Structure 1
Amino acid sequence: MKQANAKAPDQTGAQSCTITASRQQQQLEIAVSGDWVLDKQLPTLDVVLAQIESDKAISSLRFSTAALGRWDSMLVTELIKLIDCASRKGITVDKTSLPASIQGLLTLVSAVPERVDAHRGQMHTSWSRALVVSTGKAIQHSKEMLIFVGEMVVSTFATIRGQAHFRRQDLWLYIQECGPSALPIVTLISLLVGLILAFVGAVQLSLFGAQIYIANLVSLGMTREMGGLMTAIIMSGRTGAAYAAQIGTMHVNSEIDALKTMNLDPMAFLVLPRMLALIIIMPLLCLYADLMGIIGGGFVTVNFFDVSLTEYLDRTASAVKMKDFIIGFVKCSVFGILIALSGCMRGMQCGRSASAVGDAGTSAVVTAIVFIVVADSVMTIICNRLGI
């Protein structure tokens, strides 16, 4: 705003004040009638609004647009603020002097009021209500998982009987994607896990001069637990999320609906090949991870402790039995089923938006890791109780 011109009182004793406003090459004169006196230095719009709110003598508000040139939405925004302020105070607003286009915009604003629920309010929920809601969601997720597993079992038997369309070339493609393509990251993680196991074990074993048993610790730890577990976690983040994103994108693009229209079972066509690929490739990746972990542990043991390579290999061969490898293979096969189920289930449950695809991928990883940890704990307890 540039200036304010105060006029002398009229015959009725009321005072008149003219405000000249400038907003980005737009000028607007606002004439306010009533017993209201402004300072010679014209205030900003916020100050004018504050004075209108505080002064009870103002009776009417009109606009003089004689010097109005080009205008934009900023002018309409400020007019809305002034009109709203005047309406709250019960002040009469004369809009007849405004251009027809501005009057039309103001009419449209008043004709379409703001939605009451447009702004999301902060909700305070008690812990008991949150517990009930969480329990209900858990029950609903359990039902959805059971339904998905049931459909998967039915599709598997239908495929075995030759009643479902199963593409063998897709199976080999998925085996290549989740097998050889995953070797670099599995190699890196397995080597590091072997190094960590060797260093952690050596800290305690060196206190008793038993560094030779580092080989036992690393080999048994990798074959029975860490090899399969770390491989499963890697594959859940790499392959499980990819499965959820692929199927979720197909769901968004209505490709799954198209498969149903062509009388193709999506479970047999999309889910079963991915699950079989993980079941086949996970034990092989587990064996490879065991080998890399033992190599990493041997590197630490031979180079940093008083143990020769021959002694390390001899202790490894005497410590690891065939049952240890079998336990690791069985665990990895179960992990493969859980990863495929989590990824494909979240993909099939995906909503029809881009953000839903990302949520499906995140949920697939979280679900797979939870299932993996729980299944590994259960199988470890079973092996312990059976004495194997």
Structure 2
Amino acid sequence: MNMTASLEWDHSGEAPVLQVVGSWTLDQRKPELSEVWRQGGRLPEQLAVHVNVAAWDSSLLALLRRLQRLATEQQVALNLQGLPDGVERLLEMADSPSTQAKEADKPAYGWVARLGLGALTVTTAIANSCIFIGEVIQAIGRLFAGKARMRMSDFWMAFQQCGPGALPIVALIASLIGLILAFVGAAQLEAFGAQLYIANMVAIGMTREMGALMTAVIMAGRTGAAYAAEIGSMQANEEIDALKTFGFPPLEFLILPRLLALLVSMPILTVFADALGVFGGFVIGAGLFDISASQYLNQSLEMLTLTDFLIGLFKSLVFAVLIGLIGCYYGLSCGRNAQAVGQATTNAVVSIIVALVISDAVITLICTQLGI
């Protein structure tokens, strides 16, 4: 049998027959189909194509598909003969529209059914969240008891990512926030000749509110999204199922190191942001209103109390818990495809920011009612 790819006409019978012989593989040189097709002249309504190949791959399938298209254009019916095993099935799959995924039609629900489905979805989400939080608390309890299966190397790696790795962006944003607070306050205080009190406003605003909140927002977009994407990718690749199969608890092996790293790094980043925010306010005070460094520092220290500082640190701890839990929860509840990973990451960031704002408002309201 000829091992080269050959495509030729056989006019020995009553009707022409197209012969496909040789080795139809990617590494073989193949004849030009359009030229061979024109050599056939006027074709009958039923054209026989005899396939007798020594070896084949996708090149043969591509040839047959092109033959089918040419025959359809000239309204000629092909009669494929001698197809190798599997080729006929592959051609049927290529022709069948059922091979393409079809989205199922959504049933038309009434408003009562939609309300019930919405309530069921919310109830399921709350139940899953409570189960997740309970399992995390149990894992923390096993950690304090010395029974948790957590590697310290994972903790230090997570701390490196959410601690020192976040310093540049936190420094930039905190400095700009201090500048903005000082500039906005100066526009109002200048009318009363009280520019020195810029230091008071910036110091209180950064330590009690903006330092912890802006650091948390940065960590939500940086670390919370990373947690959701990392764990979601592991879920999609069935790596978490593999951990369970080998007896490694995913919450102790994956969640605890990330949560503890956030609990350690967030207060440090918050103190760093407070200091740079005060410095940003000093830049405006010294640059626009000639406030000396000693005056600005003394005024800030006189206004600040340990309570203000501790409130900011407490908020940073609450924010760290929210970022870690929500990011990891959406990662673990992710689907099994790439689209689900992206959706989980988006939902995690949105949910974290909403939770941060609500928790900050609640803590501020409680502190106001308690007079602290």
TM-score over 0.5 for the pair: yes
2:249 is aligned to 265
Q: What are the Cα deviations for residues 345-380 of structure 1, in whole angstroms up to 9, with x where unaligned?
A: 112112222333333322221221121111111111
Alignment correspondent of 1:346: 330
Output the CA distance in 1 between the equivalents of 2:110 and 2:304.
50
Provide the C-alpha distance between the structure 2 equivalents of 1:142 and 1:217, rounded to a whole number of angstroms.
40
1:238 aligns with 2:216: no
Indicate the residue corresponding to 2:24 in structure 1. none
Which residue does the alignment assign to 1:227? 211
Q: 1:107 to 1:140 in 2, by over 3 A?
A: closer
Rate the CA distance shift 1:318–1:78 in 2: closer, same or farther, 3 A: farther
Q: 1:162 to 1:107 in 2, by over 3 A?
A: closer
What corresponds to 2:68 in structure 1? 76
Q: How does 1:284-323 map to 2 (within 5 A)?
A: 284-323=268-307
Q: Displacement of 1:335 after TM fit?
A: 0.4
Partner of 1:140: 124
Q: How many residues align?
A: 321
Task: Select between 360-369 and 191-200 the one with higher mean Cα deviation.
Answer: 360-369
Unaligned runs of 5+ in 1: 1-22, 32-61, 84-93
What is the CA deviation profile of residues 113-150 of structure 1, one whole-angstrom value per residue up to 9, with x for unaligned ones? 53499554886978946655444333222221111001
The letter for the 2-side match of 1:76 is: Q
**In the TM superposition, what is the alpha-carbon distance from 1:271 to its structure 2 partner?**
0.8
How far apart are residue 204 of structure 1 and its match?
1.7
Q: Identify which range, 261-270 or 150-159, moves more after superposition.
A: 261-270
Deviation, structure 1 residue 215: 1.2
The root-mean-square deviation of aligned C-alpha atoms, in Å, is 3.5
- Aligned residues: percent identity? 43
Paired residues for 1:1-388 under 5 Å: 26=37, 63=45, 73=65, 76-77=68-69, 95=77, 98-100=78-80, 113-115=96-98, 118-120=101-103, 128=111, 132-388=116-372
Query: Per the alignment, do residues 269 and 121 of structure 1 end up closer, same or farther by CA in structure 2, a change over 3 Å counting?
Result: closer
The structural deviation recorded for 1:282 is 0.7
**TM-score, normalised to structure 2's length?**
0.74
TM-score, normalised via structure 1 length: 0.72
* Amino acid of the structure 1 residue aligned with 2:318: V
Deviation for aligned residue 1:225: 0.6
CA deviations 1:139-195 (Å, max 9, x no partner) are 222221111001111111122223332223322332222111111010001001111
Against the structure 1 CA distance between its residues 126 and 180, is the aligned structure 2 distance closer, same or farther, given a 3 Å change threshold? same
Q: Measured at CA, do residues 306 and 132 of structure 1 come closer, stay the same or move farther in structure 2, by a change above 3 Å?
A: farther
For 2:46 and 2:249, how far apart are their aligned partners in 1? Answer: 72
Deviations 1:214-259 (A, max 9, x none): 1111111110111000100111111112222222233233332232
SS at match of 2:147: coil
The unaligned stretches of length 5 or more in structure 2 are 1-32, 49-61
Deviations 1:276-300 (A, max 9, x none): 1111111111010000111011101
User: How far off is 1:337 after superposition?
Assistant: 0.5
Equivalent-residue separation in structure 1 for 2:162 and 2:241 (angstroms): 26
Other-structure match for 1:58: none
Q: Which has the larger radius of gyration?
A: 1
Partner SS state of residue 100, structure 1: strand
Code of the residue aligned with 1:100 in structure 2: it is L
- Say if 1:107 and 1:323 are closer, same or farther in 2 by CA, change over 3 A: closer
- Could you list the per-position Cα deviations for residues 10-46 of structure 1 after superposition, in whole angstroms to 9, with x for gaps in the alignment? xxxxxxxxxxxxx965559999xxxxxxxxxxxxxxx
Partner letter of residue 80 of structure 2?
Answer: A
Q: Secondary structure at the match of 2:291?
A: coil
Closer/same/farther in 2, CA of residues 254 and 189 from structure 1, 3 Å limit: same
Maintained 8 Å contact 1:29/1:64? no
Match of 2:97, SS state, is coil
- Distance in 2 (CA, whole Å) between partners of 1:213 and 1:239 is 36
Given that residues 186 and 231 in structure 1 are in contact (C-alpha distance below 8 angstroms), is that contact kept between their aligned partners in structure 2? yes
